[in-house]
Amino acid sequence: MQSFKESAQLMWRGYKEVYELEPKLILISLAQGVSEGLFPFISLFFTSWIINILFTQPTFEELIPIIASALLLTFTANVLANGLEHYRITLYYQAKDKKDMKMNNKVIYMDYEFIENTEVHELRNFLDMAELSGGQGLHYYMLETKGLITQLISLVVASVFVLQIFTAEVPATSSLSFLNSGWFLVGVIIVGIAYFLYASKIYERGVNALNKMLESATHTNNIYGFIMNQLFDYQSGKEIRLYKQQKVYSKVFKGMSESTGEALTTMQNEENLGTTKLQIWIHLFLGLGFLFTTLKAIGGAIPPGSIVIYTGALSNFMMAFPEFVSNVSQLKNNNKVLKKYFEFLELKSEKHEGTLPIEKRSDHEYELEVRNVSFKYPGSDDYVLKNINLKLTIGEKMAIVGMNGSGKTTFIKLLARLYDPSEGEILLNGIDIKKYNYDEYLQLFSVVFQDFGLFSFSLGENIAASTEYEKEKVLSAIEDAGFKERYDKLPKGLNTYLYQNFEKDGVEVSGGEAQKIAMARAIYKDAPIVILDEPTAALDPIAEFEIYSHFDKIVGDKTALYISHRLSSCRFCDEIVVFHEGEIVQRGPHEELVKDKKGKYHDLWYAQAQYYTEDDEGEIKEVVLT
Ligand SMILES: Nc1ncnc2c1ncn2[C@@H]1O[C@H](COP(=O)(O)OP(=O)(O)OP(=O)(O)O)[C@@H](O)[C@H]1O
């Protein structure tokens, strides 16, 4: 439960945020709220004025200017309201776009570990759902402020008129003079407070049902987003059809729709029931109010024509009051959503942001040392890497091998600082990598991950990772990565879009072709440290052979770290490091490791040895199994 102070601070922050996104939106909402709040009273005022004059049997000439000014005023107010409404809605969409942009930028720049964190996904989903299904969050301030102001103005102005009815005195000689008693006003105040408390309770129930619906919908939406990605992904599309998973998905959809439907129905029922109960009370009070006003007029406390303005004011008060109470309940609830909005924007980078620049060295003298590094993923108790010690010396080619799940990719994530070690440190030229400016540090690496990603941009932009690039350099990278033959057939060369998300004539590339493009991207970057995680897994034997033939050209005198399950391809490395269950269990050159019959490398090598043979010069050749 938020304290009043906390709620007020959040509201202030919320409005400040909207103001920063689109300053005019608040001002226009205020102007429109005030004018819409006042407008009904102006009409009522004129109507009751005209009726009162009619009782005095006025001439036509007397009436004309009053009716004309009433019409002119109503017309002007309507035109103004219409214009303001259009302008406000345009400003709202602009503010919403800017807010969405801000949230998307947060996702783009947030620490990688947040991207892998389900709680962060749920938080973002919750905010989207709260806005879409409940109109909550910053959205509430952007859109509903006008309504709140209108209700507030209506209440204040109507209260003034309502008070006037109570203070207007029926002459003491009248049999209705008992209406002058102050107890009527006291009664109204007590009933008003009781109504406020009762209505708040009812609206709170509605808001709780909304929250329940949001919780359920957020979870469902998370699964839904995940499933929709899978359904439209042609990779999993194959599996879904071949393994006849359609029924499983249909069942999941049905379950999701039932649970969300149930929560929605509960919310609607709660709202309907609440509204009906409140409407009964409102109309009862309204009836009593009309009776009181009419009796006051009969008693001579107010002119008969003024019944219009007083009963109108009473109606306005009675209509605005429940809406206002409902908005106050929503506002309170909205603060919870708003809190999460700021929580999302404030997700703090756990990463130490160093400031040290990286020395630009043409001799590539960058030495990486991993010292006593252990690591467990956030939220997990299990160590994925345990006490790793390694030194990558300049120009060295090192291979990391090991069974699935032994921690090889995780180790690379640490080197690229996608995560920081839980224990120990990684040093670059003797200095903890955390102390370096991260962007500059990243410039040292060309990485091709096993699950690399390409973007739906043009080929040139994919390889250069930029919209501007050196064409010759890109073409040379394409050649070195073995993509030249396919490239020559591309309709628009480097301007050919990959995939069809952005361009209808974008091309689909095969897994192996995609891997070559990812490789070309790493070659183009020309960073001093090259890390390749299963870079040839999807390549055909000839393409793989070409990559290895070009390897010296690709890697040159750079430091290289190479992960592969195909052990024969690791032999060109100066040193092979064997990972097992998160630990380094062996290291050394191939010839040395393979001799150790008790070692893990020996097991791994001989498990694959049937696929290879050695020629007279000791060269490994792949053999055809019969
Ligand atoms: N984001 C993550 N959160 C929690 N655990 C993870 C995460 N990513 C990987 N793991 C776990 O860490 C362990 C090591 O995974 P890693 O991907 O580093 O292995 P690997 O040696 O590269 O395996 P492979 O040869 O199959 O590619 C695995 O048990 C995996 O389940």
H or E segment to which residue 426 belongs: strand 423-428
Which of the two residues, 181 and 511, has the higher pLDDT score? 181
Q: Which of 112, 116, 380, 408 to mutate to test the pocket of ligand 1 (most atoms within 8 A of CB)?
A: 408
Mean pLDDT for 580-588 is: 93
Mean pLDDT for 378-387 is: 91
Distance between Cα 335 and ligand 1 center (Å): 39
The whole-number pLDDT of residue 578 equals 93
The whole-number pLDDT of residue 318 equals 83
Residue 382 has pLDDT above 90, yes or no: yes
Instruction: State the Cα torsion 132-138-144-146 to the nearest 10°.
Output: -150
Residue with tokens 């050196």: 470
Is residue 73 a contact partner of residue 42, using CB atoms and an 8 Å limit? yes
Is residue 326 a contact partner of residue 203, using CB atoms and an 8 Å limit? yes
> Which residue's CA is the closest to the ligand 1 atom numbered 29?
405
Distance between Cα 481 and ligand 1 center (Å): 27
Residue 548's pLDDT band (boundaries 50, 70, 90)? low
Distance between Cα 495 and ligand 1 center (Å): 36
Going from N- to C-terminal start, the domains of the chain cover 4-345, 355-444+538-626, 454-526
The answer, yes or no, to whether any atom of ligand 1 lies below 6 A from the CB of 377, is: yes
* Percentage of the chain modeled with pLDDT above 70: 93
Mean pLDDT for 506-519 is: 85
Distance between Cα 560 and ligand 1 center (Å): 21
Mean pLDDT for 462-472 is: 88
The Cβ-side half-sphere exposure at 66, using a 13 Å CA radius, reads 18
The whole-number pLDDT of residue 281 equals 87
DSSP assignment of 355-401, as one string?
-BPPPP-TT----EEEEEEEE--TT--S-SEEEEEEEE-TT-EEEEE
The answer, yes or no, to whether any atom of ligand 1 lies below 6 A from the CB of 512, is: no
Is residue 290 a contact partner of residue 314, using CB atoms and an 8 Å limit? yes
Residue 616's pLDDT band (boundaries 50, 70, 90)? low
| Short-list 406, 133, 368, CA closest to 271 | 133
Token couple for 402? 């090991």
Give 296-326 pLDDT, tens digit per residue: 989 989 888 888 888 888 888 888 888 888 8
Q: How far is CA 626 from the centre of its chain?
A: 54
Fold type of domain 355-444+538-626:
Rossmann fold (3.40.50)
Q: Mean pLDDT lowest for which of 216-230, 429-443, 554-568?
A: 216-230
Distance between Cα 413 and ligand 1 center (Å): 10
The answer, yes or no, to whether any atom of ligand 1 lies below 6 A from the CB of 385, is: no
ipTM: 0.97
| Short-list 378, 345, 351, CA closest to 123 | 345
Residue 625 has pLDDT above 50, yes or no: no
The answer, yes or no, to whether any atom of ligand 1 lies below 6 A from the CB of 171, is: no
Q: How far is CA 23 from the centre of its chain?
A: 23
Residue 408's pLDDT band (boundaries 50, 70, 90)? very high
Mean pLDDT for 6-32 is: 93
Same topology for domains 4-345 and 454-526, yes or no? no
The whole-number pLDDT of residue 393 equals 83
Distance between Cα 406 and ligand 1 center (Å): 7
Residue 133 has pLDDT above 80, yes or no: no
3-state DSSP call for residue 230?
Answer: helix
Distance between Cα 429 and ligand 1 center (Å): 28
Q: Mean pLDDT lowest for which of 448-457, 487-496, 578-587, 591-600?
A: 448-457
The answer, yes or no, to whether any atom of ligand 1 lies below 6 A from the CB of 580, is: no
Q: How many residues does the chain have?
A: 626
The answer, yes or no, to whether any atom of ligand 1 lies below 6 A from the CB of 581, is: no
> Which residue's CA is the closest to the ligand 1 atom numbered 27?
404
Distance between Cα 599 and ligand 1 center (Å): 23
Q: Which CATH architecture has domain 454-526?
A: 3-Layer(aba) Sandwich (3.40)
Q: Which CATH architecture has domain 4-345?
A: Up-down Bundle (1.20)
| Strand-pair category, 583-588 with 575-580 | antiparallel
The whole-number pLDDT of residue 200 equals 82
Token couple for 483? 């993509």
Residue 357's pLDDT band (boundaries 50, 70, 90)? confident
DSSP assignment of 257-305, as one string?
HHHHHHHHHHHHHHHHHHHHHHHHHHHHHHHHHHHHHHHHHHHTSS-TT
Burial class (CB in 10 A: 0-12, 13-18, 19+), 617: exposed
* Burial letters 498-510, b for 16+ CB under 10 A, else e: beeeebeebbebe
Ligand 1 atom having least distance to the Cα of 565: 25
Alpha carbon distance, N-terminus to C-terminus of the chain: 73
φ, ψ of residue 584 in degrees (nearest 5): -85, 120
The whole-number pLDDT of residue 609 equals 65
Rg (CA), the chain: 37
H or E segment to which residue 559 belongs: strand 559-563
Which of the two residues, 502 and 457, has the higher pLDDT score? 457
> Which residue's CA is the closest to the ligand 1 atom numbered 8?
410
The answer, yes or no, to whether any atom of ligand 1 lies below 6 A from the CB of 564, is: no
Distance between Cα 385 and ligand 1 center (Å): 10
Token couple for 338? 């708003």
The whole-number pLDDT of residue 626 equals 44
The answer, yes or no, to whether any atom of ligand 1 lies below 6 A from the CB of 405, is: yes
Token couple for 553? 């050209």
Ligand 1 atom having least distance to the Cα of 579: 21
The answer, yes or no, to whether any atom of ligand 1 lies below 6 A from the CB of 384, is: yes
Mean pLDDT for 149-169 is: 90
Q: Which of 409, 533, 579 to mutate to test the pocket of ligand 1 (most atoms within 8 A of CB)?
A: 409
DSSP state letter for 180: G
